[in-house]
Amino acid sequence: MTKSYEAKQTPVGLQHGVPEAQHEPASISRRRILLGGGGLAAAGGIGTFGFPAPAAFAQPASGKPKTLVKYGHDSGPETGNQLMGTYFAGRVAQLTDGEVGVQIYPSSQLGSTSEMTQAVKQGTLEFAFPAGTLAGSVITPELGVFGLPYLLRSWEKATLVEYSQAAELLRDRALKKGVRILAFVPQVLRNLLYNIQGDKPVLKVEDVAGMKIRVIESPVDVATWQACGALPTPMSFGEVYSAMQQKVVSGVDNAFNSGAGIHLDEVINAVTLTNHRYEIGLFITNEKWFQSQSKRVQEAMLTAAREASIYQQGFVMWDDIRIPKLWLEKKNIRTFVPDRSGFITKMTSIYPQFETKYGKEVMDLARKV
């Protein structure tokens, strides 16, 4: 039975209309967005931690946009995913003169990430933002390739994915399944957030043996931690807090930004910087629905999605610096730097089984990024 994706709760916000500021050219450089020089910054000012705040858009003359669409994600309302959605909504409104209004539903209000991804594929939801590994489980397996641990080892490399030959190939594969990838988004840097057992922090790969760790519901994530001797436990992001609180799991494969968004600092006492994955999220829409829109609206969505991905990346990079310090000061949550050599050896040992699954062409192109 197809799940209904009518809102379970009131959306956090609806941005539509035309800002008072003049329109900027569609192409805003990465540097200008991160420094607050984009059109939205001009209209809305500088927001949290020095990053530009999305503008407060005026109502169009009609009082509401011609088209209302939904953007759903699984993170909290104070995360990079939400910030990206807010920027996207505002920029689409700006570029379409208020013709399109985007409603944002955080915190899995429209279902789990897998359910939202399936809804986009079926055409019952306009926009979702799954991790590549999760999208691979729903759309086509190859989309999970950038979820392989230690394949990307810097933010710079993650940023280059959008413009790579691998991305071009993956876009084509997704289109054949009815899904358009608007942007490959450098989303978060994943680490191990957990509760220290017996005052023994995770400092080497052997220390996770037997540890129950929550992972994304994808074969890559399960295989990654199995290779380390841990007990990976797949579950949706909305279940993570209660699972840690009730000690169903003792660790979470996660990131500072999204972890802070659901207050994981209340149920953990340590972080080990495995730095095992620079997560690539996929900003997706239904291809049939996308093609039903005017060229002007299509171009607005493509431009807004790519700009929004840059915008949120700066935010989450800053959180990787800010949040560990805050957690230590407020909650005495310690951060440890492990010997990563063992993690690299164990985790990358899964590559051969996924090369068989994804195909050599995809793997070769992904390695070239």
Task: Tell me if 191 sits within 8 A of 161, measured CB to CB.
Answer: no
Task: Tell me if 183 sits within 8 A of 306, measured CB to CB.
Answer: yes
Structure tokens at 214: 């929550």
Q: Which amino acid is at 26?
A: A
Residues near 193 by beta carbon (within 8 Å), at least 6 away in sequence: 251, 252, 254, 259, 264, 268, 270, 271
- Give residue 344's pLDDT band: very low, low, confident or very high (50, 70, 90): very high
Task: Tell me if 136 sits within 8 A of 106, measured CB to CB.
Answer: no
**What percent of the chain shows pLDDT beyond 70?**
83
Residues 175-188: tens digit of each pLDDT: 999 999 999 999 99
**What percent of the chain shows pLDDT beyond 90?**
76
Helix (H) or strand (E) holding 70: strand 67-72
Range name among 25-39, 265-279, 351-365 with the lowest pLDDT average = 25-39
d(CA 8, CA 111): 9
Size of the chain in residues: 369
pLDDT of residue 197: 79
pLDDT above 50: residue 133: yes
d(CA 139, CA 136): 5
Q: Across the strands, what pairs with 266?
A: none
- Give residue 46's pLDDT band: very low, low, confident or very high (50, 70, 90): very low
pLDDT above 80: residue 234: yes
Residues near 321 by beta carbon (within 8 Å), at least 6 away in sequence: none
pLDDT of residue 63: 58
d(CA 271, CA 47): 28
Q: Which amino acid is at 321?
A: I
Helix axes 295-331, 80-95, angle to 10 degrees: 150
Structure tokens at 270: 């340590």
Residues 73-116: tens digit of each pLDDT: 988 888 889 999 999 999 999 999 999 999 999 999 999 999 99
Mean pLDDT score, 312-320: 91
Predicted model pTM: 0.82
Helix (H) or strand (E) holding 234: strand 231-234
Residues 48-82: tens digit of each pLDDT: 444 444 443 333 445 578 899 999 998 888 888 99
Residues 236-268: tens digit of each pLDDT: 988 999 999 999 999 999 999 999 999 999 999
Residue-averaged pLDDT of the chain: 85
Domains and CATH numbers, the chain: 13-189+278-319 (3.40.190.170), 190-277+326-367 (3.40.190.170)
Pure H helices in the chain: 30-34, 39-44, 80-95, 113-122, 132-138, 155-160, 165-175, 219-226, 240-245, 256-261, 287-291, 295-331, 340-348, 351-358, 360-367
Residues 13-41: tens digit of each pLDDT: 333 222 222 233 333 334 333 333 333 33
Q: Which residue matches tokens 């399944």?
A: 177
d(CA 102, CA 221): 32
The CA dihedral of 274, 350, 200, 252, to the nearest 10 degrees, is: 70
More confident residue, 192 or 315: 192
Structure tokens at 171: 């876009």
